[in-house]
Amino acid sequence: DGGITQSPKYLFRKEGQNVTLSCEQNLNHDAMYWYRQDPGQGLRLIYYSQIVNDFQKGDIAEGYSVSREKKESFPLTVTSAQKNPTAFYLCASSHPGLAGADEQFFGPGTRLTVL
């Protein structure tokens, strides 16, 4: 089955800790993304990567870091510098559609709670 997996499903963090969220895809997509979802708001882009060993900051990158060492994997680290990390985190990957639009496909999400 082709798809995107995220782990863990639930994650609890104490203040001052760094935590890493996993995202793996076997769709052979070049581009991968991390979004944050808060109640009543649209998805906000944290980081994206269009190719291995390259990534760019999104709209809310402060307090987050990523790596893209393999095409299939795009882990997100939430550092202690992120002041309000409690949220639902979504990973996505994309390929160009028939007419060129980049349809994104999402993983099941990780819910991070700061204790």
Partner 1 sequence: EDQVTQSPEALRLQEGESSSLNCSYTVSGLRGLFWYRQDPGKGPEFLFTLYSAGEEKEKERLKATLTKKESFLHITAPKPEDSATYLCAVQEGTGGFKTIFGAGTRLFVKA
CA distance 33 to 45: 7
Q: Is 108 in the site for partner 1 (CB under 8 A)?
A: yes
Task: State which of residues 69, 97, 112, 114 lies at the interface with partner 1 (CB under 8 A).
Answer: 97
The two three-digit tokens of residue 16, written as one number: 């001052």
The sheet carrying 4-7 orders its strands as 4-7, 19-25, 76-78, 64-66
Task: State which of residues 7, 53, 86, 103 lies at the interface with partner 1 (CB under 8 A).
Answer: 103
Site for partner 1 in 13-52 (CB under 8 A): 35, 40-43, 45
Q: Which is nearer to partner 1, 57 or 70 (CB)?
A: 57
Task: State which of residues 14, 15, 83, 99 lies at the interface with partner 1 (CB under 8 A).
Answer: 99
Q: Which is nearer to partner 1, 85 or 107 (CB)?
A: 107
Residues 68, 55 contacting (CB under 8 angstroms): yes
Task: State which of residues 32, 90, 112, 114 lies at the interface with partner 1 (CB under 8 A).
Answer: 90
Q: How far is CA 100 from CA 32, 49, 58, in A?
A: 17, 18, 21
